[in-house]
Structures are given as C-alpha cells and as structure tokens.
C-alpha cells in the first residue's frame, strides 16, 4: 500500500479546490447539458419525500432536483447552493408557479453557512458533492455545519461517485503529475479524472467506501440510517447514504 498524508497540506487542498472550481467555470454549461435528468437514486429519494420538507440542496447544480420536486407537487421550501455560475444560471429556470431559491456559495469557504442565518432545515441534500471536498479535516468541518443547520431529527442525504465500478471510467483516471502534484501530496482514495466533453478538463474526486462514510457520520454527530447503491452501469455508480441528526440524550 502506498503511503499518503494523514492530514492534507492546505496548499494541496487549495490546489484541488481550484482545480474543480476551474473545471465547473470552464465546462459548467457543457456539464449541465449532460445532466438533464436526475439519477435513479435521487428520483427514488424524491419520490419518498412527504412534500412539505424544508430543503437545503448543497451543490444543487443545474436545478434538476428542484424541477423534479415541482413535478411531484412539492409544497415545502427549497434553497439550492452552488459555486458554479453556469450551473446556477440553468438552475434558475424552473416551472412557472414553483417557488425555489438559488444562491452562490462555496462549501470550501470558512463561512459559507453564515449567509443562511439561523435557518434550520428538515432535510439537507448533497448529491455528488462530498467526493469533491479534499481532506478529512475540511470534510468534517463541512459536515459539522450541516449538522447544525438541521433541525433536531433532521436528515442529511448524499451520494458519492463510485467510478471504480466502471471499466470505462477507470480509463479516465489520470496521473497526479498531470495537475502538477504527486501521489505523496494527496490522500488515500483520492483520484484525478479527465473530462472529454467539448474540451479537455480535470476533476478531483475522492472515492468513498460505505465503511468510510459510516465512520465519517459517527465522527460528525450523525447516525447512518440507510445505505444503498444506484445509478449507471449495473446500478452501482452512486453510493447513497441517509444520515439522521443524532440527539444524544445520555
């Protein structure tokens, strides 16, 4: 097994964050064009909602979740956050009569949640988001903020890319030197994947296992309630987990 950093160097983390930020700035419009419907796992979750939730959608992308909620007759409140302006521009095009709000926010910034004030949400979603956050410390920091933004008993539902379950996607893994880094700079299960749609781009992605996510839930105050695979080839390209804000009454 290769040796990796226990705590990612802040300079490396910033470089990986900037890599993804640049990708979604350059390819956000093209990426949005490939995401004109939600994944089966997200559709399953949307269909199981009561329809009255107060939802915060982290990494809302081009707003497809909100459109699906509108189709389902959703009557609650919805706020979507994303750092990609091209994706947010597409997200703001919603069905007439459906109330959805969208704001620019970068989850890797230290104070992204402050603009939300004292708002509490019954459901926070993070579909295909957490795997773009570099470093264990930054991931834990974001998840602790998610915990605080949830009302007692609230739920955090997220998905993470399982690209290693696809032979095609495995071929998109690039050496770290392509981004000016080495394997010694990054963490175990960190990968660099290329993009081949309308140009050449690079994205940083972390590969989570169910066990690693369950441990992360416990470390940040959550109780893991459900875990399942869905999407893509063989229904195994997305790992979904449902976490509940755990209230320790002891």
Give the pLDDT of residue 36. 66
**Residue 53 is assigned to a structural domain of this protein:** yes
Express each pLDDT in 204-243 by its tens digit.
999 999 999 999 999 999 999 999 999 998 999 999 999 9
**Residue 212 is assigned to a structural domain of this protein:** yes
DSSP-based three-state secondary structure for 99: coil
- Backbone phi, then psi, for 96, in 5-degree steps? -60, 135
**Residue 182 is assigned to a structural domain of this protein:** yes
Beta bridge partners of 125: 57, 157
Distance CA 199, CA 206 (A): 23
**Residue 43 is assigned to a structural domain of this protein:** yes
Specify the higher pLDDT residue, 95 or 2.
Answer: 95
**Number of independent structural domains in the chain:** 1
**Residue 156 is assigned to a structural domain of this protein:** yes
**Residue 75 is assigned to a structural domain of this protein:** yes
**Residue 3 is assigned to a structural domain of this protein:** no
Q: Which residue has the tokens 């264990």?
A: 136
Average pLDDT over residues 48-73: 96
Q: Which domain holds residue 24?
A: 10-245
Express each pLDDT in 119-162 by its tens digit.
899 999 999 999 999 999 999 999 999 999 999 999 999 999 99
Express each pLDDT in 59-71 by its tens digit.
999 999 999 999 9
**Residue 65 is assigned to a structural domain of this protein:** yes
User: Nearest Cα to 204, choosing from 232, 185, 179?
Assistant: 179
- What's 199's domain CATH number? 3.40.50.150
């Amino acid at each position: 097994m290769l040796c990796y950093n226990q705590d990612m160097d802040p300079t490396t983390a910033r470089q990986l964050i900037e890599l993804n930020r640049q990708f979604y700035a350059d390819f956000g419009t093209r990426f949005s064009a490939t995401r004109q419907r939600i994944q089966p796992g997200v559709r399953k979750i949307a269909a199981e909602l009561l329809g009255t939730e107060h939802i915060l959608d982290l990494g809302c992308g081009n707003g497809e979740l909100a459109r699906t909620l509108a189709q389902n007759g959703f009557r609650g409140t919805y706020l979507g956050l994303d750092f990609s302006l091209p994706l947010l521009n597409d997200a703001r095009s919603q069905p007439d009569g459906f109330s959805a709000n969208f704001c620019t926010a970068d989850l890797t910034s230290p104070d992204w949640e402050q603009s939300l004030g004292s708002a509490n949400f019954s459901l926070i979603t993070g579909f295909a988001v957490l795997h773009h956050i570099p470093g264990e410390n930054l991931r834990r920091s974001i998840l602790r903020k998610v915990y605080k933004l949830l009302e007692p008993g609230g739920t955090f539902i997220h998905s993470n890319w399982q690209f290693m379950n696809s032979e095609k996607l495995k071929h998109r893994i690039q050496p770290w030197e392509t981004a000016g880094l080495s394997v010694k700079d990054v963490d175990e299960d960190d990968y660099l994947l290329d993009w081949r749609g309308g140009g050449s781009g690079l994205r940083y992605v972390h590969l989570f296992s169910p066990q690693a996510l369950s441990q992360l839930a416990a470390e940040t105050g959550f109780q893991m309630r459900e875990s399942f695979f869905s999407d893509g080839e063989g229904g195994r390209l997305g790992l979904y987990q449902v976490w509940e804000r755990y209230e320790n009454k002891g």
